[in-house]
A and B are shown apart, each in its own frame.
Chain A
Amino acid sequence: MATAPLPQNATPDNDLGSALADSASRLLATGGDDATLYAAMAEAGWLAVAIAEEQGGLGLGLAQLAALARAIGEARSTVPVMAVAGIALPLLAAAQGKLAEDLLAAALVGEAVPVLAHQAEAAGHARGHGLARLVPAEGGLRLVGRWVAVEAAGFACHLLVPARRPDGATVIVVLAVADAGVERRTYRAIDGRLLMDVAIDAAVAGDQCLTLPDPDAALDAALDRGALLAMAEAVGSMRVLLADTLAYLKTRRQFGQPIGRFQALQHRAVDLTIALEEAEAVVDAACEAEGTADFGRAVAVAKVVGCRSARLIAREAVQMHGGIGITEELRVSHHFRSLTAAESRYGDDDAYRARFAALTASDLPPAKEHRA
């Protein structure tokens, strides 16, 4: 069955940007396995997009990275490049000292693949909960704990692991996955991505912790970027699903006419179009808010609205295609699965609704005094 052409992306406003956009369509069209693709993306500069020029990056910012994420979503690629380029590397770039500098430099050329262990077991989507404790042990500190749904399984060679020091402060420990005491279990997620659970019981030296001025804020920003880029990828899937669904409404005939002539379906198609428009807008707005005090709130909006749009578009795309929509034959079901996974990556909309409420609590008017 023919797949519908997508609307053209807006032309990036700089040469580097347009070169990257070219590389996105070229690389993602070639297919190839994830490792080959990752290497080619590293070569094309994808990992450097959101890193400042003075740190060896391209300094193009989150919006440019989100454009690439959208292309990944459209192609439904499982290459874990965003987990590195958008989450781990900016976290390293925010840190000082040789540990972070060396790892960042190696990662930018594709020689090292660091990834954030973003979710401690039993934490669920609640940030900061269940962080493993660094416990005093013979000759130093020991990190003991389990992390779930870690991205870039099969790629990651280093783990950035948030933990608490005995004094209660948050630290981010850098471990090599090959280190003694690091055990991984790899599994496939509903969207085809390879994830891993990681169990750690390892000695940690003082020089294995990142030097960050505010580790909690850095971690929050990393998780926010993860959630935002997951929604940028989701926008790519939503665009494909809407385009395919509109094309199907125009070609599929029942009762002697294209089903798109039925007003009930027309109105729903309009709702999908509005949903996509909103999702694109909130993702763009959050990218623009990077580095400002509004970033956290803007990401919360992007995640909540993005999830709502993703759910509506994914489910309606399948429904309007009918039986053929649940088959493996059409990419509709593939993007349905991608959007299903995207909803919960780096926290679901429940988590970001709660985060938005917490971040805007000071906007509430003071409670009136209760008079007897």
Chain B
Amino acid sequence: MQAELVAFREEVRSFCREALPQDIRRKVAENLALERADHQRWQKILHGRGWMGGHWPLAHGGKAWKPLQRWLFEQTLAEEGAPWLIPMGVAYVGPVIYSFGSEAQKRRFLPPILSADHFWAQGYSEPNAGSDLAGLKTRAERHGDHYVVNGQKTWTTYAQWADWIFCLARTEAGDRPQDGVSFLLIDMTSPGVTVRPIATMDGKHHVNEVFFDNVRVPAENLVGEEGKAWRYAKFLLVQERLIAAETGRIRHLLAGLRAVAASVQEAGRPLGQTPSFAARIADIAIDLAALEAVCARLLAHADGDAPGGVEVNMLKIRSSELQQRVTEEMIRALGRLGIPFDPAHLDPGATPPADWPRGATGMASEFMYLRAATIYGGSNEIQRGIIAKQGLGL
């Protein structure tokens, strides 16, 4: 790796060690529930350092990082125990707006993304349009200088925190299901927008249903051309999958696994010292090294924007499976305690028994939440289909 990238990574590392607030660090380390205010505080700290949207162009407040540098940045953040950089604003809609939006949209929406004053949600999936996204039914009808939006989105991550949502909505019937879909920016405080939480088995509040009932959206909030959203959505999906390599997150999880394997006892010695368990941890670490090697090679060759080939789909498959494997081993370790799980212990104020491994409840929660890693962002079945069709020509 080039010396300046190594230096950059160390700079990020020492910044995290100094600037990441202790209370937030603890919540991440123990997989406790974070609030919007925690994410916002940390993102503002990064913004103060000039590192929010480092991969954005200079003209829009970024640092024009190339993909390799961006990957190292996000990997180091996660490895150092910083909160996940919620991607909907800075990684998804931001690049769509600066690539396809109007000048007015750029002026209005980009600065509050970088300053973390606006939180965004992604209005894509619908009850009958999940893997088959083009089957979406939400409609936007033009009435003078407004669209009137009706429909329902689902699996909407952090809609409960969002100030804005970017939505795919059908503006006309097209020959193909992908035609006639438009990309709209909708104020979550608009009359007719309702957010309903979805309870998931991990005990935290991640996802929601979002209902649109005659929601009036100013026509100026249309991004790009009417009916051309599929092009922007595909651009965005590539961004989403690049993030999905999540190697820093896996490093962080792996450190947690090693800690729990050192703390849980088997036959009077640390579980991590038993050969079968040690071998599985080693297998995970080896597969992580392979994933990082694939990432580094792919990104080193990507000069400008994110690489757009099916390699990113491969990253998503491998990464999501690896994230699951790490937490599966955590659960195996915690099996010696019968796997304690009380969602009340996910509250940072809770005091679980001091003799339990640190963050035991959070590990169980993470294990359950990460079952979704092979489902969200395009399920792994969809990813394999894309690779087979587009990559292999089958």
Q: Using a CB–CB distance below 8 Å, which chain A residues touch chain B?
A: 119, 121-126, 129-130, 148-149, 185, 187-191, 193, 195, 197, 253-255, 262, 264-265, 315, 318-319, 322-323, 325-329, 333-334, 336-337, 340-341, 343-345, 348, 350, 353-354
Contact = CB atoms under 8 A, between A and B. Distances in A.
Contacts of A123: 265-268
Contacts of B331: 340
B131 interface: yes
A185 B131 contact: no
Nearest to B134: A255
B268 A129 contact: yes
A340 B339 CA distance: 9
A125 B333 CA distance: 10
B161 to A, nearest CB: 19
B163 interface: no
B129 to A, nearest CB: 8
A325 B371 contact: yes
What class of interface size applies to chain B in its complex with A?
A: 35 or more
Rank and list the top 5 A-B pairs by shortest CB-CB distance, nearest first: A344-B335, A124-B266, A149-B338, A126-B267, A333-B201
A190 B372 CA distance: 18
A189 B130 contact: no
B381 to A, nearest CB: 6
Interface in B197-231: 198-202, 207
Nearest to B341: A190
Among A193, A254, A265, A326, chain B packs the most CB atoms within 10 A around the CB of A326
A328 B337 CA distance: 24
B135 interface: yes
Interface string B126-158: 001011100100000000000000000011000
A348 B132 CA distance: 39
A191 B384 CA distance: 33
Given A187-B342, A190-B364, A336-B201, A122 B268 contact: yes
Contacts of A322: 130-131, 375, 379
Contacts of A323: 125, 130, 154-155, 207, 372, 375-376
Contact of A328 (B199, B267, B271, B372): B199
Contacts of A337: 201, 341, 368
Among B131, B202, B264, chain A packs the most CB atoms within 10 A around the CB of B131
B374 interface: yes
B338 A124 contact: no
B130 A126 contact: no
Contacts of A334: 201
Contacts of A326: 200-202, 368-369, 371-372, 375
A188 B342 contact: yes
A306 to B, nearest CB: 14
A319 B342 CA distance: 24
Contacts of B264: 124
Contacts of A121: 265
User: At the interface, is chain A mostly helix, strand, loop or mixed?
Assistant: mixed
B277 interface: yes
A149 B200 contact: no
A189 B338 contact: yes
Given A323-B155, A340-B331, A125 B266 contact: yes
A327 B198 contact: yes
Given A190-B341, A190-B364, A318 B371 contact: yes
Among A187, A318, A341, chain B packs the most CB atoms within 10 A around the CB of A187
A254 to B, nearest CB: 4
A354 B274 CA distance: 11
A341 B132 CA distance: 34
Contact of B339 (A189, A318, A327, A333): A189
A237 to B, nearest CB: 14
Contact of B266 (A126, A325, A345): A126
Among B266, B335, B367, B371, chain A packs the most CB atoms within 10 A around the CB of B335
Given A254-B131, A336-B371, A195 B200 contact: no
Given A193-B338, A254-B131, A315 B200 contact: no
Interface in B319-350: 331-332, 335-342
Given A126-B267, A126-B268, A340-B367, 6 more contacts: A125-B336, A322-B131, A322-B375, A323-B130, A326-B375, A327-B201
Nearest to A349: B332
Among A197, A345, A350, A354, chain B packs the most CB atoms within 10 A around the CB of A350
8 contacts: A122-B268, A125-B335, A185-B353, A322-B130, A328-B201, A333-B200, A333-B201, A343-B335
A193 B335 CA distance: 13
Contacts of A344: 332, 335-336, 338-339
A357 to B, nearest CB: 11
B373 to A, nearest CB: 10
B201 A350 contact: no
Contacts of B202: 326
A319 B321 CA distance: 12
B266 to A, nearest CB: 3
A148 B336 contact: yes
Among A188, A336, A337, chain B packs the most CB atoms within 10 A around the CB of A188
B276 interface: yes
A197 B337 CA distance: 9
A327 B199 CA distance: 6
Interface in B263-318: 264-268, 271, 274, 276-277
Given A319-B375, A326-B371, A327-B199, A190 B268 contact: no
Contact of A327 (B132, B135, B200): B200
Contacts of A188: 340-342
A315 B371 contact: yes
Contacts of A327: 198-201
B199 A122 contact: no
A255 B274 CA distance: 48
A129 B267 CA distance: 5
Contacts of B274: 350
Interface string B242-280: 000000000000000000000011111001001011000
A347 to B, nearest CB: 9
B270 to A, nearest CB: 10
Interface string B34-77: 00000000000000000000000000000000000000000000
Among A130, A190, A345, chain B packs the most CB atoms within 10 A around the CB of A190
A254 B335 contact: no
A148 B155 CA distance: 38
Contact of A341 (B131, B276, B338, B374): B338
B337 A148 contact: yes
Nearest to B201: A333
Contacts of B369: 326
A364 B30 CA distance: 46
Contact of A255 (B132, B332, B340): B132
B339 A190 contact: yes
B35 to A, nearest CB: 21
